[in-house]
């Protein structure tokens, strides 16, 4: 293989941290706005992209939620999900676990059923037509109340077979994991795997990661880079073999760096670090571009890149027979 760029492009991949609503590209936003008669506060795509000028998590979230106003009907959720899965397939993603944020829609009067039925239909179609497999993680928004989160959890229950995990995202400031302890205890009892965002460089990052481990007992950590500040946290994450879903381009947009060197450090420590895209339409990079960025910023070699991909398949919430098939395909990639 000629170079690392080609190596990355061809490598079988597993994405564990992508928000479906964060894959809504400007052209689709305008198309859906026209279809649904929704006014957007931008004259054209160039003006919209120019507003994608984030320097922290809240400045990103404002634009992210604003963009969702065009998602109203089941077909809209189908379209955005199918487009992501097609793009992911083109970058050799074999399997994706995708977040969705139902509260950002139900709070606008869009029924939960409309959201999940559209997404589900796209997943089935993408698996059939493109051969890309996926599962869903329902996220609740940490800057809303624990009561609203519980109501949302209860709304998921008729669709339990369509959802593999339960997560937490949105603005972390003053919204620690323990705020949602009872909600996540119930989610666990309902059979969901648990994950939570521990966004990079937050005011209480290390304490929030401690809560994730001790109070919530998550099965995975989204971002979680600041665990490196504490040997105790790293030891516990290692002991429990928890995957950390790092998103280099997202990190570079909302913090001073891509944290790629931290990814390398995690690999050196034997931690299950993975590379993901987060909100690719907003941060301008899908999983392939995120691998390229991590490789460039931390001078990663083929073994590192393969380990990152292996970590993701190993950390996936799939039955072991399916996981083993993906892992065998990954191993075969370097043996030819
Ligand atoms: N962090 C918090 N909330 C989010 C993110 C994220 O990376 N993406 C979409 N909502
Ligand atoms: Zn995220």
* 3-state SS, one letter per residue, for 50-75: HCCCCCCHHHHHHHHHHHHHHCCCHH
Give, in order, the Cα–Cα distances in Å from 310 to each of 116, 306, 325.
29, 6, 12
Question: Which of 52, 63, 64 has most ligand 1 atoms within 8 Å of its beta carbon, as the pocket-test mutant?
Answer: 64
From the CA of 265, how far away is ligand 1's center (Å)? Answer: 23
Residue in the block written with tokens 């966004």: 199
Q: Is 222 in the pocket of ligand 1 (CB under 6 A)?
A: no
Q: How many CB atoms lie within 10 A of CB 160?
A: 12
Q: Output the residue whose Cα is nearest ligand 1's atom 4.
A: 170
The ligand placed nearest to the CA atom of residue 104 is: 1
Q: Is 199 in the pocket of ligand 1 (CB under 6 A)?
A: yes
Ranges assigned E (strand) in 170-270: 193-198, 220-223, 243-246
Question: Which of 54, 57, 140, 205 has most ligand 1 atoms within 8 Å of its beta carbon, as the pocket-test mutant?
Answer: 57
CA 304 to chain centre: 21
Atom number of ligand 1 nearest to Cα 99:
9
Tokens (6 digits) for 252? 């570079």
Ranges assigned E (strand) in the chain: 13-19, 93-100, 133-141, 165-169, 193-198, 220-223, 243-246, 272-275
What is the fold of 2-335? TIM Barrel (3.20.20)
CA angle, 102 as apex, 98 and 106 as ends, to 5°?
160
From the CA of 3, how far away is ligand 1's center (Å)? Answer: 32
From the CA of 125, how far away is ligand 1's center (Å)? Answer: 26
Q: Is 17 in the pocket of ligand 1 (CB under 6 A)?
A: no
Q: To 10 degrees, what angle do helices 181-189 and 146-156 make?
A: 10
Q: Is 293 in the pocket of ligand 1 (CB under 6 A)?
A: no
From the CA of 247, how far away is ligand 1's center (Å)? Answer: 10
Question: Which of 64, 168, 197, 283 has most ligand 1 atoms within 8 Å of its beta carbon, as the pocket-test mutant?
Answer: 197
Residue in the block written with tokens 């987060």: 278
In our burial notation (b when 16+ CB lie closer than 10 A, e otherwise), range 277-310 reads bbbbbbbebbbbbbbbbbbebbebeeebbbbbbb
Question: Which of 23, 141, 167, 170 has most ligand 1 atoms within 8 Å of its beta carbon, as the pocket-test mutant?
Answer: 170
What one-character DSSP code corresponds to residue 296?
H
CA angle, 224 as apex, 220 and 227 as ends, to 5°?
110
Given a contact cutoff of 8 angstroms between Cβ atoms, the answer to whether 284 and 249 are in contact is: yes
- Is 0.95 surpassed by the pTM of this model? yes
Q: Which residues contact 261 (CB under 8 A, 6 or more apart)?
A: 297, 298
From the CA of 97, how far away is ligand 2's center (Å)? Answer: 12
The ligand placed nearest to the CA atom of residue 255 is: 1
Per-domain boundaries in the chain: 2-335
Tokens (6 digits) for 288? 């392939």
- What does the pLDDT read at residue 55? 87
pLDDT tens for the 336 residues of the chain, in order = 459 999 999 999 999 999 999 999 999 999 999 999 999 999 999 999 999 998 899 999 999 999 999 999 999 999 999 999 999 999 999 999 999 999 999 999 999 999 999 999 999 999 999 999 999 999 999 999 999 999 999 999 999 999 999 999 999 999 999 999 999 999 999 999 999 999 999 999 999 999 999 999 999 999 999 999 999 999 999 999 999 999 999 999 999 999 999 999 999 999 999 999 999 999 999 999 999 999 999 999 999 999 999 999 999 999 999 999 999 999 999 865
């Amino acid at each position: 293989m000629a170079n690392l760029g080609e190596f990355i492009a061809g490598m079988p991949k597993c994405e564990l941290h992508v928000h479906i609503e964060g894959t809504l590209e400007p052209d689709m936003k305008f198309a859906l706005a026209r279809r649904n008669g929704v006014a957007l506060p931008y004259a054209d795509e160039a003006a919209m992209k120019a507003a994608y000028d984030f320097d922290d998590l809240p400045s990103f979230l404002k634009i992210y939620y604003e963009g969702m106003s065009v998602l109203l009907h089941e077909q809209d959720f189908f379209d955005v999900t199918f487009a992501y899965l097609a793009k992911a397939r083109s970058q050799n993603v074999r399997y994706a676990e995708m977040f969705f944020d139902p509260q950002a829609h139900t709070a606008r009067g869009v029924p939960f059923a409309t959201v999940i039925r559209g997404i589900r239909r796209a997943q089935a179609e993408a698996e059939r037509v493109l051969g890309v497999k996926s599962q869903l993680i329902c996220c609740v928004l940490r800057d809303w109340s624990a009561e609203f989160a519980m109501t949302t959890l209860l709304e998921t229950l008729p669709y339990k077979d369509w959802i593999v995990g339960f997560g937490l995202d949105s603005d972390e400031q003053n919204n620690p994991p323990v705020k949602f302890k009872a909600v996540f205890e119930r989610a666990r009892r309902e059979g969901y795997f648990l994950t939570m965002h521990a966004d990079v460089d937050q005011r209480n990052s290390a304490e929030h990661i401690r809560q994730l481990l001790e109070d919530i007992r998550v099965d995975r950590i989204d971002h979680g880079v600041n665990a490196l500040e504490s040997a105790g946290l790293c030891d516990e994450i290692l002991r429990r073999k928890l995957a950390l879903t790092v998103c280099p381009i997202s990190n570079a947009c909302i913090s001073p760096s891509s944290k790629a060197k931290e990814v390398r450090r995690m690999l050196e420590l034997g931690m299950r670090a993975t590379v993901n895209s987060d909100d690719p339409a907003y941060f301008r990079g899908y999983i392939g571009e995120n691998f390229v960025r991590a490789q460039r910023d931390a001078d990663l070699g083929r073994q590192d890149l393969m380990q990152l991909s292996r970590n993701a398949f190993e950390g996936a919430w799939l039955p072991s027979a399916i996981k083993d098939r993906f892992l065998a395909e990954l191993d075969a990639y370097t043996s030819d």
